[in-house]
Structure 1
Amino acid sequence: MRDEYQVQLALVGELLSAMAEHVGTAMRHATAGLLGADRAAAESVLADHPNLIAQRDQVEARTYELVALQAPVAADLRTLLTAPRVATDLERMGNLARHVARAALRRYPERAVVDELAGVFASMADTAVRMADKMRAVVADHDADLAAQLDRDDDELDELHRRMFGIMFAAGWSHGAEAAVDAALLGRYYERYADHAVNAATQVIYLVTGEHAG
């Protein structure tokens, strides 16, 4: 019985790792749709999203069942308490990638971001995907030190977000209000994606140390 419990506990970790991989791929493909007018890449994000929802539901169902049927020790109990919260943050990251993909499809066959902002959006995407890749390692290895690095990555993305507004508010901006509103909304998606990665990492730090970060 206890062996089966450990198998199920390990499976929860595998599901979270798979979710982290999924949301990184989703944002990578969404950005390809956004900056490259790649319709197939953007559509793949929408098509794959139900799989992420199913993984989140599996995490929740398995953790609640393990808490109800077993008597987990303190460290395992922390895992079972934090896993649904991490899954929720990862699902929200996937949902934000889906918003980016939808924005790309709304503008197709045109590119959804003007040339002046393409570089900063590419950098925001690189940072966001790097954070998702780190989250996969954090979840797989319970690496609290790596989890703490995501705060610095989030600061980097915030700086890129400010740079985006600096470009839009500069005197030479010639693309009108609609392009500025689109960019502001898209920038917010990337910013919130990073915020949820930090939230998930904070939960892993609690899992490892038993202490709430910050």
Structure 2
Amino acid sequence: MTARLDEQLGAVRGQFLAMQDHLVAQLRVMGDPGRDSAQVQADVSRLDLQIDEAERAAVQGVLRLLALQSPVARDLRLTVLILQSTPDLERAGDYARHLSRTPGAAGPEGTLVLGDLTLMAATLRAATLPGDAALAAQVRELDARVDARFEAAMTDLIGQPGGPGALAAAAWWRSAERLGDHLKNVAVRLEDLYT
């Protein structure tokens, strides 16, 4: 029974990690200055579909594991963490897709935030296995930096005349801030699990 539990938990963990890998890839594609914006948008959308597929597989795997294997202790906590966190990663992928629709809308400061978000996603992935609470804490710190840049950008946008460019920039910033929040949510759960 333990071998079967380990096998099923490994499969679920693999889907959870795949979601994170695809999210990191989305952000890296957007940060590549040599790519055509239409190709970036297509690649980000394709990766978002892969995140959605991995989410479905992870949730089905978790439900099957809970029903058939009855995990306990740390295995149960990891299983619940995955079940709680897959929606956050799925939404983060959606926000990455939103960001890809308006490249450059946030100007040079947006490029810095995109770099922070990419670092957040990669750090979260590194924190997940083998399980590092200190790396998860770094994700929270990076989110605080993204939030501060978001607040400054919104203050600047409020002081400028409106128009389509300002609306696109505001939407871009909101998506970036929300993406960071979803990554932070997962990081907080990881910190709780691994401390």
What is the TM-score when the length of structure 1 is the normalising length?
A: 0.83
1:46 — aligned with what? 45
1:177 — aligned with what? 163
2:70 — aligned with what? 71
Q: Distance in 1 between the 2:148 and 2:123 partners?
A: 20
Tell me which structure has the larger Cα radius of gyration: 1
Alignment of 1:63-142 (within 5 A): 63-104=62-103, 112-113=104-105, 117-142=106-131
Q: Distance in 2 between the 1:70 and 1:36 partners?
A: 46
State the Cα deviation string for residues 133-166 of structure 1 (Å, max 9, x = none): 0111111221111111222111111121123234
Match of 2:191 among 192, 205, 208: 205
Q: Distance in 2 between the 1:184 and 1:48 partners?
A: 24
Contact 1:31 1:100 in 2 (8 A): no
Contact 2:5 2:71 in 1 (8 A): no
Contact 1:86 1:200 in 2 (8 A): yes
Q: Distance in 2 between the 1:103 and 1:82 partners?
A: 33
The CA RMSD over aligned residues, in Å, is: 2.1
Q: Distance in 2 between the 1:47 and 1:100 partners?
A: 14
Q: Distance in 2 between the 1:53 and 1:32 partners?
A: 23
- For structure 2, the residue ranges without an aligned partner over 5 or more in a row are none
User: Residue 169 of structure 1: CA displacement?
Assistant: 4.3
Q: Secondary structure at the match of 1:141?
A: coil
What amino acid does structure 2 have at the position aligned with 1:26? Q
Contact 1:135 1:147 in 2 (8 A): yes
Q: Distance in 1 between the 2:22 and 2:178 partners?
A: 17
Contact 2:157 2:170 in 1 (8 A): no
User: Residue 3 of structure 1: CA displacement?
Assistant: 1.0
User: Residue 37 of structure 1: CA displacement?
Assistant: 5.5
What amino acid does structure 2 have at the position aligned with 1:137? A
1:193 — aligned with what? 179
- Say how many residue pairs are matched: 195
User: Residue 167 of structure 1: CA displacement?
Assistant: 3.6
Q: Distance in 2 between the 1:49 and 1:36 partners?
A: 18
Q: Distance in 1 between the 2:91 and 2:36 partners?
A: 24
User: Residue 16 of structure 1: CA displacement?
Assistant: 1.5
User: Residue 48 of structure 1: CA displacement?
Assistant: 2.6
Stretches of 4+ moved more than 6 A in 1?
A: none
What amino acid does structure 2 have at the position aligned with 1:59? A
2:149 — aligned with what? 160
1:16 — aligned with what? 16
Q: Secondary structure at the match of 2:171?
A: helix
- For structure 1, the residue ranges without an aligned partner over 5 or more in a row are 105-111, 210-214
Q: Secondary structure at the match of 2:163?
A: helix
Percent identity between the two aligned chains: 27
User: Residue 78 of structure 1: CA displacement?
Assistant: 0.6
1:4 — aligned with what? 4
Q: Distance in 1 between the 2:158 and 2:181 partners?
A: 24
Q: Distance in 1 between the 2:35 and 2:111 partners?
A: 10
What amino acid does structure 2 have at the position aligned with 1:131? M
Q: Distance in 2 between the 1:45 and 1:102 partners?
A: 9
